[in-house]
Chains A and B, each alone.
Chain A
Amino acid sequence: MKEFAALFTALDQTTKTSVKTAALADYFATAPEDDKIWTIALLSGRRPRRAITTTKLREWAAEHAGIPLWLFEACYPVVGDLSETIALVLPEPKNRIEKSLSGWIATLRGLDNAEEDARKAAILEAWDGLPPIERFVFNKLITGGWRMGVSQKLMTRALAKATGIEEAELTHRLMGDWSPDNVSWESLIEAPDPTADLSRPYPFYLAYQLEQEPHELGDVNDWLAERKWDGIRGQLILRGGERYLWSRGEELMTERFPEFAQLVDFLPSGTVMDGEVLAYDRDAEAPLSFNKLQPRIGRKTVPKKLLAEAPCILMAYDLLEWQGADLRQTPLADRRAILEEAIDALPKDLPIRISPRVNATTWDGLAEARAISRDIGAEGLMLKRLNAPYLAGRKKGDWWKWKVDPLTIDAVMIYAQAGSGRRATLYTDFTFAVWNGNDLVPFTKAYSGLTDAEFREITAWVRKNTTDRFGPVRQVTPHHVFEIAFEGIQASPRHKSGVALRFPRMARWRKDKPLQEANTLDDLNQMLAQYG
């Protein structure tokens, strides 16, 4: 595991993408094949099954370090990472075990069916035989949740550099339902068989938020405008008589949306569509709120009642494969034409719609259409260049999100909590309140939106203005007003304020605003009535 730990260290010691790519490319060019496959798996979120519970790891680590469990638990929030906490408290290693990454993974998997004593002995032996960084890496192999400061995109770029295979092609090869057990370096990277995995999705094309003025995009007639729907991005694959639904996070969601099964009978094999899964009111021909969709996301199987309450459709907006042919290099205008024709020909009771074009002859016309987005349950507009291919990953230029401005409210900070991980020494998690008469009613938390300098400033202030502590939470003197931006608002009986926000964040620290001028619960309720 020496090579893998060295790679980890190299990646950890730099923030520069070019240095990271070079370190990875170097690793891919030199490491043993089994290790390379596992590295790709780990960096793309495919981890081995957890052989040991974290409860046991905590107990064993505390015991081995000669400290009480409560003290170990007190260390954990300071470090912010369980694997690292364990690595830091353990005594110096006693010896040096040399074993490859895949060797250690095999050892861990061998513990799956072992008795607890044997598991414990194996883990302690590993801890005693590994230097600190390898220990940390080893713990990460057990606990999962692997983050090495390397995105899948960056890893793919490094792989491309090491193998000479094109990046977009590699991205596609790495998609889908593989594991290191059923692939080899050869079959995954070097010479894949395209028919081996019928479920394999194409890499999603991801849009950036539009930052310039829309007219700077050029002639409005070169662009397709659609609603930006507020559902789950999905890629529906119909191949070989089967269907597969992939989320943007590369998760198979097929079983969660049984309504799409019937599409197999109506569309030809070799069809792949990109779209938004929405809870949908067929009578009104309008999407239901994201709130309605939410219970369907979490469950593996769907009870009938839920199916009836939140029927879903695919709001299709792109066609990536048609009659078995990869259409991604075909211009959007042509892909869209085939898609429209195919969906128009389907019976209307099928759970699929085409995402309608938003037509306007000027940018101002589109701006007007965008302004009503919230009223029809959309988040804004999507702008897509009509002559563009379907690219892989997040690329600037051909697709833009043109979202409506967020809702905002001015709120008072009343509780603060330290962050974890890289923000462990800062107060970054805050609870905000609005006025209800003379009382402050908490209604949301927010963690992001401030600069590091602002977080440092507010942290110093929190330390000096704490009025009470509840575990890790500090109550602070009501004083600071923040503008909270959010994307949506819903009624929520679970919250004291009666509302829940979507994507709340701190938009601005309103140092100019006196405490008394923060918004009120009535203001929130008005927003709820209007947009909830």
Chain B
Amino acid sequence: MGYASPYLSPMVLEFTEAGIYCPPADAYIDPWRPVPRALITHGHSDHARPGMGAYMATQAAAPVIHHRLGADIRMETTPYGVTHRIGDANISFHPAGHVPGSAQIRVEVDGEVWVASGDYKVIDDGLSEPFEPVKCHTFITESTFGLPIYDWPEQDVLARDLNAWWAQCVAEGKRAVLGVYALGKAQRIMKLLDPSIGPILTHGAVEATNKVLRGQGLILPETVPVVDGVDAKSHPNAIVLAPPSALGSNWMKRFGAVSTGFASGWMRLRGVRRRRAADRGFVVSDHADWKGLNWAIAQTGAERVFVTHGYTAQFSQWLREQGYDAGIVQTEFGGEDLDEAEESAA
């Protein structure tokens, strides 16, 4: 899996079996095997994994990581933009706009700057710290949605569509049940919902993350956790936010007549929408779309780009044609997986 560099500029980061490795700092970024020292971009489970000797993350990302990996992990936190000297490397964290607390990690060794961006999106979602381009020589980018077919609607269009659907459900005497990621997507969508239509009910996995985020000072709309006695009768006008895996399960029976929806970037594709057999698909993602990826890469001023998870072959070829020195790196990052069940276990 190691990447044999054909390039003359130094490799500040190396791609190893365990993850993205920085030799001068003796630390890994988002490693997928247990290592002594891990720098974590954000709390999603394919980036923050258990078993590391020590963790470092932003102050805003730490509570969720603790919530998921345990209170007893060794964790050092940092504000955004503060440079830490680790070994012979200068390391700092910068907003990635993906979910609250998410970061791109900037690594500088002898004046050579690399940025590992983890997962990112470039629009302001009204919840996460907005993406900040960081100048660098080498940029490591995801490509979850790295094809020109992926183009996200504006946030206000999304809000209008969501609320129109919810209002229609209320008019038809149905509950709106929306499948969303528990961390990030759920809270982002809550903030787009119009509270005058009805109450927001939350599945346990979503509410647990709400609690963590509220605990660190984020302002979220009022939510009603789904417990015994919370059902179609008690909350007839409700919208219900639940992890995708809960849709179609027994858990949903309490809501009586429902209209189901999924909120994901994959909903851009009619085939995927239809396969999910949900009534509605809302195109919304915490990953950058095609334009966003291209914009972000241009902003970094990088000459060399490594493409991790997603449409790596297509996107790196495209970048090469745009004049970048672009290559593919195999990682174990998952991107946006509709069928990810772990969210409900969190």
A441 interface residue per 8 A CB criterion: no
In the bound assembly, the distance between CA atoms of A72 and B266 in angstroms comes to 18
Q: Which 6 A-B pairs have the closest CB atoms?
A: A88-B149, A422-B271, A422-B275, A421-B271, A422-B274, A74-B314
B339 interface residue per 8 A CB criterion: yes
B272 interface residue per 8 A CB criterion: yes
Residues of A within 8 A of B274 (CB): 12, 149, 421-422
Known: A13-B279, A71-B318, A452-B275. A78 touches B148 (CB 8 A): no
Known: A13-B279, A14-B279, A456-B339. A422 touches B148 (CB 8 A): no
Separation in Å of the B62 CB from the closest CB of chain A? 30
Residues of B within 8 A of A85 (CB): 149
Report which of A13, A71, A81, A426 forms a contact with B280, defined as CB distance below 8 A. Answer: A13
Please determine whether A71 and B314 come into contact, CB atoms closer than 8 angstroms.
Answer: yes
A451 interface residue per 8 A CB criterion: no
In the bound assembly, the distance between CA atoms of A74 and B339 in angstroms comes to 24
Separation in Å of the A519 CB from the closest CB of chain B? 32
Please determine whether A78 and B279 come into contact, CB atoms closer than 8 angstroms.
Answer: no
Name the interface residues of A51-70: CB closer than 8 Å to any CB of B: 65, 67-68, 70
B220 interface residue per 8 A CB criterion: no
Residues of B within 8 A of A67 (CB): 148
Please determine whether A425 and B272 come into contact, CB atoms closer than 8 angstroms.
Answer: yes
B268 interface residue per 8 A CB criterion: yes
A253 interface residue per 8 A CB criterion: no
Number of A-B contacts (CB under 8 A): 70
Contact with A along B138-155 (1 / 0, CB 8 A): 000000000111110000
Please determine whether A424 and B271 come into contact, CB atoms closer than 8 angstroms.
Answer: yes
Contact with A along B111-155 (1 / 0, CB 8 A): 000000000000000000000000000000000000111110000
Please determine whether A78 and B275 come into contact, CB atoms closer than 8 angstroms.
Answer: no
In the bound assembly, the distance between CA atoms of A72 and B150 in angstroms comes to 12
Across the interface, name the chain B residue whose C-beta is closest to A89. Answer: B148
Say whether chain A's binding surface is mostly helix, strand, loop, or mixed.
Answer: helix
In the bound assembly, the distance between CA atoms of A70 and B313 in angstroms comes to 12
Name the interface residues of A1-60: CB closer than 8 Å to any CB of B: 12-15
In the bound assembly, the distance between CA atoms of A424 and B150 in angstroms comes to 15
In the bound assembly, the distance between CA atoms of A420 and B151 in angstroms comes to 20
A84 interface residue per 8 A CB criterion: yes
Please determine whether A425 and B266 come into contact, CB atoms closer than 8 angstroms.
Answer: yes
Please determine whether A75 and B271 come into contact, CB atoms closer than 8 angstroms.
Answer: no
B269 interface residue per 8 A CB criterion: yes
In the bound assembly, the distance between CA atoms of A384 and B339 in angstroms comes to 46
Please determine whether B271 and A74 come into contact, CB atoms closer than 8 angstroms.
Answer: no
Please determine whether B314 and A81 come into contact, CB atoms closer than 8 angstroms.
Answer: no
Please determine whether A81 and B147 come into contact, CB atoms closer than 8 angstroms.
Answer: no
Across the interface, name the chain B residue whose C-beta is closest to A91. Answer: B151
Known: A13-B279, A71-B314, A74-B314. A423 touches B151 (CB 8 A): no
Residues of A within 8 A of B148 (CB): 65, 67, 71-72, 75, 88-89
Interface residues on A, range: 20 to 34
A80 interface residue per 8 A CB criterion: yes
A79 interface residue per 8 A CB criterion: yes
Can you report 25 A-B residue pairs in the complex whose CB atoms are below 8 A from each other? A15-B277, A15-B279, A65-B148, A68-B321, A70-B317, A71-B148, A71-B314, A71-B317, A78-B147, A78-B269, A79-B270, A79-B271, A80-B269, A81-B271, A84-B269, A84-B270, A88-B148, A88-B149, A88-B150, A89-B149, A423-B271, A425-B271, A425-B272, A426-B275, A452-B275
Residues of A within 8 A of B314 (CB): 71, 74
Across the interface, name the chain A residue whose C-beta is closest to B280. Answer: A13
Please determine whether B279 and A79 come into contact, CB atoms closer than 8 angstroms.
Answer: no
Residues of B within 8 A of A422 (CB): 270-272, 274-275
In the bound assembly, the distance between CA atoms of A149 and B150 in angstroms comes to 24
Name the interface residues of A436-459: CB closer than 8 Å to any CB of B: 452, 456
Residues of B within 8 A of A79 (CB): 149, 269-271
Separation in Å of the A187 CB from the closest CB of chain B? 35
Please determine whether B147 and A74 come into contact, CB atoms closer than 8 angstroms.
Answer: yes
Report which of A13, A14, A75 forms a contact with B147, defined as CB distance below 8 A. Answer: A75
Name the interface residues of B46-101: CB closer than 8 Å to any CB of A: none
Separation in Å of the B341 CB from the closest CB of chain A? 10
Contact with B along A391-420 (1 / 0, CB 8 A): 000000000000000000000000000001
In the bound assembly, the distance between CA atoms of A449 and B44 in angstroms comes to 34
In the bound assembly, the distance between CA atoms of A421 and B150 in angstroms comes to 16
With most chain A CB atoms within 10 A of its CB, the pick from B270, B317, B338 is B270
In the bound assembly, the distance between CA atoms of A116 and B311 in angstroms comes to 34
In the bound assembly, the distance between CA atoms of A79 and B311 in angstroms comes to 13
Residues of B within 8 A of A72 (CB): 148
In the bound assembly, the distance between CA atoms of A325 and B122 in angstroms comes to 72
Residues of B within 8 A of A68 (CB): 318, 321
Residues of A within 8 A of B275 (CB): 422-423, 425-426, 452
Residues of A within 8 A of B277 (CB): 15
Across the interface, name the chain B residue whose C-beta is closest to A12. Answer: B270
Separation in Å of the B336 CB from the closest CB of chain A? 11
Please determine whether B321 and A78 come into contact, CB atoms closer than 8 angstroms.
Answer: no
In the bound assembly, the distance between CA atoms of A425 and B338 in angstroms comes to 10
In the bound assembly, the distance between CA atoms of A12 and B278 in angstroms comes to 10
In the bound assembly, the distance between CA atoms of A149 and B274 in angstroms comes to 10
Contact with A along B248-278 (1 / 0, CB 8 A): 0000000000000000001011111111010
In the bound assembly, the distance between CA atoms of A25 and B177 in angstroms comes to 28
Residues of A within 8 A of B280 (CB): 13
Across the interface, name the chain A residue whose C-beta is closest to B281. Answer: A13
Separation in Å of the A33 CB from the closest CB of chain B? 29
Name the interface residues of A139-165: CB closer than 8 Å to any CB of B: 149
Residues of A within 8 A of B311 (CB): 74, 78
Please determine whether A81 and B270 come into contact, CB atoms closer than 8 angstroms.
Answer: yes
In the bound assembly, the distance between CA atoms of A67 and B150 in angstroms comes to 13
Given contacts A420-B271, A422-B270, 11 further A-B contacts (CB under 8 A): A67-B148, A74-B311, A75-B147, A78-B311, A79-B270, A80-B271, A81-B270, A88-B149, A422-B271, A422-B274, A422-B275
Please determine whether A424 and B279 come into contact, CB atoms closer than 8 angstroms.
Answer: no
Residues of B within 8 A of A456 (CB): 339
In the bound assembly, the distance between CA atoms of A426 and B276 in angstroms comes to 12
In the bound assembly, the distance between CA atoms of A388 and B150 in angstroms comes to 55
In the bound assembly, the distance between CA atoms of A420 and B321 in angstroms comes to 28
Residues of A within 8 A of B269 (CB): 78-80, 84, 424
Across the interface, name the chain B residue whose C-beta is closest to A420. Answer: B271
Separation in Å of the B189 CB from the closest CB of chain A? 19
Residues of A within 8 A of B279 (CB): 13-15
Across the interface, name the chain B residue whose C-beta is closest to A66. Answer: B148
In the bound assembly, the distance between CA atoms of A80 and B314 in angstroms comes to 16
Across the interface, name the chain B residue whose C-beta is closest to A86. Answer: B149
Residues of A within 8 A of B270 (CB): 12, 79, 81, 84, 422
Across the interface, name the chain B residue whose C-beta is closest to A80. Answer: B271
Name the interface residues of B316-346: CB closer than 8 Å to any CB of A: 317-318, 321, 338-339
With most chain B CB atoms within 10 A of its CB, the pick from A12, A149, A422 is A422
In the bound assembly, the distance between CA atoms of A12 and B280 in angstroms comes to 9
